């Protein structure tokens, strides 16, 4: 219920901003959210490892979530600034068309952002069932599957790249460096969440003496 209320609040916020900014602004924001999400997905693990090496590995379970949203926030600010400079004049539409497309673009932004939120819960320090919702359901589908599908489509499409070495080819198990890689990110973080839960349930707290690798 809490997670649903958060998603509805995000939806309402995006629709409100969309109506305020019009169709053109809402359309650009939707794509900014996509690209910021892709950047965060690509670089949050290296950022988390950097924090781990700088601050200490005992707080390993707490680095991934802020790293993801920190990169997303910085990327959104940069993309918003660039698109605002490059597109100073908004496309003019009939009022009703403008409102219609503004709401549609805002809904798209909200769906994408909520998909990112669900994806990020896989590495939040909340255990395998954040807000009472299991990260992997009875059918084996991960909570963040929707964003996973978007990232996979983009990484195999226009934003794809070929692997650059034999080691990288083994890592991805393909000629293309496609999401989620050979070591499925959802499975990797599920193991980390279960290890965290076992650690907390065992009375050892949140500090990790040794954690599952990311």
d(CA 3, CA 132): 9
Residue found by looking up tokens 């497309």 in the block: 101
CA distance from start to end of the chain: 29
Q: Determine which helix (DSSP H) or strand (DSSP E) holds 69, and give its type and residue range.
A: helix 64-86
Please report the pLDDT score of residue 181 as a whole number.
67
pLDDT the model gives residue 210: 61
Distance CA 91, CA 77 (A): 22
Q: Each residue's pLDDT tens digit in the chain (214 positions)?
A: 899 999 999 999 999 999 999 999 999 999 999 999 999 999 999 999 999 989 988 889 999 999 999 999 999 999 999 998 887 776 777 888 899 999 999 999 999 999 999 999 999 999 999 999 999 998 889 999 999 999 888 877 666 666 666 655 566 666 666 676 667 889 899 999 998 888 888 777 777 766 556 6
Please give the pLDDT value at position 164.
Answer: 63
Within 8 A by CB and 6+ apart from 17, the residues are 26, 29, 106
Q: Residue 40 and residue 65: Cα distance in Å, rounded? A: 10
């Amino acid at each position: 219920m809490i997670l649903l209320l958060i998603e509805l609040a995000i939806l309402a916020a995006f629709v409100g901003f969309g109506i305020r900014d019009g169709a053109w602004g809402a359309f650009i924001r939707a794509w900014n959210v996509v690209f910021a999400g892709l950047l965060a997905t690509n670089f949050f693990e290296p950022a988390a490892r950097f924090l781990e090496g700088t601050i200490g590995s005992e707080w390993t379970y707490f680095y991934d979530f802020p790293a993801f949203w920190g990169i997303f926030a910085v990327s959104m600010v940069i993309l918003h600034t660039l698109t605002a400079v490059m597109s100073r004049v908004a496309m003019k539409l009939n009022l009703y068309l403008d409102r219609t497309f503004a709401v549609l673009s805002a809904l798209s932004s909200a769906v994408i952002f909520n998909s990112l939120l669900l994806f990020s819960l896989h590495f939040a320090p909340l255990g395998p069932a954040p807000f009472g919702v299991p990260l992997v359901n009875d059918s084996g589908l991960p909570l963040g599957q929707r964003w996973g599908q978007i990232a996979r489509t983009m990484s195999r499409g226009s934003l794809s790249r070929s692997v650059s070495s034999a080691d990288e080819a083994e890592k991805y198990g393909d000629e293309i460096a496609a999401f989620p890689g050979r070591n499925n990110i959802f499975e990797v973080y599920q193991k980390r969440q279960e290890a965290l839960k076992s650690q907390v349930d065992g009375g050892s707290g949140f500090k990790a003496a040794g954690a599952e690798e990311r």
